[in-house]
Amino acid sequence: MADVDYSKDIQLYTSSVNAAAVAGIVKFLGIALRGKDASYVSCSSKSELDTVRESFLKRKLKMTEDDAALDARIKAVCEQMKADTSKHRVTFYYLLAEKAGKLGDL
C-alpha cells in the first residue's frame, strides 16, 4: 500500500492538503498500512469505529469529548466518504483531524 498517493485521495474531499499532516498519519499508522484490510476503514464495523475513536481520536489527537460526540465526528466522515467503497485509512483520519482543527497536531 506504500504506493498509494494519499494526497490525491484526500483532495477528493477537501480543497487543500497539509503534506506534513499526511506524513504524520502515515507514520502513526506505520505497519498497519501494509495490510490491505488494515489500510481501509469499514464504517459498517462497530469494533472498527471504536478503534478509530480510541486509538486515533483519544490517544493520538488527545480529544476529550465524550464517546457520543467522538462517534458523531466519525459518523460525519463516514457520511462524507459514503460514495467511496474503499475508504483509505489515511484519508479517513486526515478528514477527522481536519474537522477537529487538529492537523497541526500531527
- Per-residue confidence (pLDDT) for residue 38, from 0 to 100: 87
Q: Which domain holds residue 90?
A: 6-105
Residue 37 burial by Cβ neighbours in a 10 Å radius (0-12, 13-18, 19+): exposed
- Tens-digit pLDDT profile for residues 11-58: 999 989 999 999 999 999 998 888 888 899 999 999 999 999 999 999
Residue 3 has pLDDT above 90, yes or no: no
Q: How far apart are CA 4 and CA 93, in angstroms?
A: 15
For all residues of the chain together, what is the average pLDDT?
93
- Number of separate domains in the chain: 1
- Per-residue confidence (pLDDT) for residue 32, from 0 to 100: 83
Average pLDDT over residues 72-94: 95
In a domain, 42, yes or no: yes
CATH number reported for the structural domain that contains residue 93 in this entry? 1.10.238.120
In a domain, 1, yes or no: no
Q: Is 60 in contact with 97 (CB distance < 8 Å)? A: no
Alpha-carbon 49 to chain mean position: 10
Portion of the chain with pLDDT greater than 90, in percent: 80
- Per-residue confidence (pLDDT) for residue 1, from 0 to 100: 44
Evaluate if pTM is beyond 0.75: yes
